[in-house]
């Protein structure tokens, strides 16, 4: 089983309550819609039988729920799956709070409350989404059954995230002279998305179009920069203070954790996985070969198989208490 996956086109052209397209045979009905959290809309995708184990999928900085689309649909065959666009990213507008882990964690809990989901959920987060998942677990351990952290922020200083695509994109929108910068903006966007994968061909035209749509949203730039400033600084990298404090709280929670990583991650280097194993010694660890920053796209089937096994083991242990 290779696990490699060619991303399907984003389903954003559908009406708010329309089923997402390209649902595999046997997959439950999938709905992409919005829910109100603190009076503001949050874009979500929900699938699966209501009584199945609940899974929540969280994306990385500057991304959207589409990064989890294929994994979402596979997991929904035997789980109740929720994906969401964090405030200020994807197609969810920002709220009045400053962007950061606490704000995003409150949005996750707010969505669960709005949906009436009071069972402990299995949080699965990629990159920034992993740190958000850990923040929810630290703040509300009773709401969390387990954590699957995919190439998660929070385990090391290095974070190779560039703001240049935003700079060129902003210049390309200037009146009169903007068209001169459009080739540079397009090239920067392609390089940025290709850097997320071991196989750059996975930065498909469909994926690039959706990334451009996300990047064109009114709150994107302020949310991206505000989020980065809240967790790190140029040259210094990801700040150690919040990382240490968060990992101590996650470790103290005693929640089961599965850490997965791509061995060729150019954004958060693979040696962060070793740091994760040291910080969370009870966690399980799996490293994917020839895989970049988003294994949920590059190793979809394998990651879903690991996730299924992990959720089943956690549910079995909870039932035995």
Q: How far are the Cα atoms of 159, 195, 202, 260, 276 from residue 271, in angstroms, in the given order?
A: 12, 17, 23, 12, 9
Distance CA 216, CA 31 (A): 24
Beta-strand ranges (E) seen in 206-256 are: 232-233, 237-238
Q: What DSSP state is assigned to residue 2? A: -
199-218 per-position pLDDT tens digit: 999 999 999 999 999 999 99
What is the per-residue pLDDT across 81-126, written as a single tens digit (0 to 9) for each? 999 999 999 999 999 999 999 999 999 999 999 999 999 999 999 9
Share of the chain above pLDDT 70, in %: 86
Looking from the CA of 143 toward its CB, the CA atoms found within 13 Å total: 21
Of 86, 91, 120, 127, whose CA–CA distance to 105 is shortest?
Answer: 86
Query: Is 30-160+195-319 assigned to CATH 3.40.50.1820?
Result: yes
pLDDT at 129: 99
Count of Cβ atoms closer than 10 Å to residue 2 Cβ: 8
Express each pLDDT in 43-69 by its tens digit: 999 999 999 999 999 999 999 999 999
Question: Residue 315: which residues within 8 A CB-CB, separation 6 or more?
Answer: 53, 145
C-alpha distances in Å from residue 281, one per residue of 33, 42, 313 = 39, 35, 18
Please tell me the distance from the alpha carbon of residue 145 to that of residue 306, in angstroms, as a whole number: 16
Q: Which residues contact 59 (CB under 8 A, 6 or more apart)?
A: 65, 67, 68, 83, 85, 86, 89, 90, 125, 126, 127, 128, 129
266 versus 188: which is more confidently predicted? 266
Partners of residue 31 on adjacent β-strands: 19, 46
Confidence of residue 9 (pLDDT cuts 50, 70, 90): very low
**pLDDT computed for residue 21 by the predictor:** 36
241-279 tens-digit pLDDT = 999 999 999 999 999 999 999 999 999 999 999 999 999
Q: How far apart, in whole angstroms, are the C-alpha atoms of residue 118 and residue 290?
A: 38
pLDDT at residue number 11: 38
Tell me the chain's radius of gyration from C-alpha atoms. Answer: 18
Q: Buried (b) or exposed (e) across 148-176, using 16+ Cβ within 10 A? A: bbbbbbbbbeebebeeebbebbeebeeee
The alpha carbon of residue 283 and the mean position of all alpha carbons in its chain are separated, in whole angstroms, by 20
pLDDT band at 165 (very low <50, low <70, confident <90, very high): low
Whether 184 and 202 have beta carbons less than 8 Å apart is answered as: no
């Amino acid at each position: 089983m290779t696990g490699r996956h060619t991303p399907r086109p984003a389903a954003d052209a559908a009406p708010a309550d329309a089923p997402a397209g390209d649902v595999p045979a046997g997959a439950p009905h999938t709905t992409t819609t919005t829910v109100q959290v603190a009076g503001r809309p949050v874009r979500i995708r929900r699938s699966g039988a209501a009584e199945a184990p609940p899974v929540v999928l969280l994306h990385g900085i500057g991304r959207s729920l589409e990064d989890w689309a294929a994994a979402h649909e596979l997991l929904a065959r035997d789980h109740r799956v929720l994906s969401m666009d964090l405030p200020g990213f994807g197609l969810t507008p920002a709220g009045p709070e400053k962007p950061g882990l606490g704000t995003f964690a409150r949005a996750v809990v707010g969505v669960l409350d709005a949906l009436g989901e009071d069972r402990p959920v299995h949080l699965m987060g990629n990159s920034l989404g992993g740190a958000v998942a850990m923040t929810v677990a630290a703040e509300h351990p009773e709401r969390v059954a387990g954590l699957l952290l995919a190439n998660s922020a929070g385990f090391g200083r290095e974070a190779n995230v560039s703001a240049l695509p935003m700079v060129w994109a902003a210049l390309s929108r200037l009146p009169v002279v903007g068209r001169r910068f459009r080739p540079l903006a397009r090239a920067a966007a392609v390089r940025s998305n290709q850097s997320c994968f071991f196989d750059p061909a996975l930065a498909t035209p469909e994926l690039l179009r959706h990334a451009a749509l996300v990047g064109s949203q009114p709150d994107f730039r302020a949310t991206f920069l505000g989020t980065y400033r809240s967790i790190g600084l140029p040259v210094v990298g990801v700040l150690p203070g919040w990382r240490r404090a968060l990992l101590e709280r996650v470790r103290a929670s005693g929640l089961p954790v599965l850490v997965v990583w791509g061995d060729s991650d150019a954004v958060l280097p693979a040696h962060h996985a070793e740091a994760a194993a040291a910080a969370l010694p009870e966690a399980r660890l799996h490293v994917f070969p020839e895989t970049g920053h988003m294994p949920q796209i590059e190793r979809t089937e394998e990651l879903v198989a690991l996730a299924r096994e992990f959720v089943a083991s956690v549910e079995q242990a909870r039932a035995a208490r």
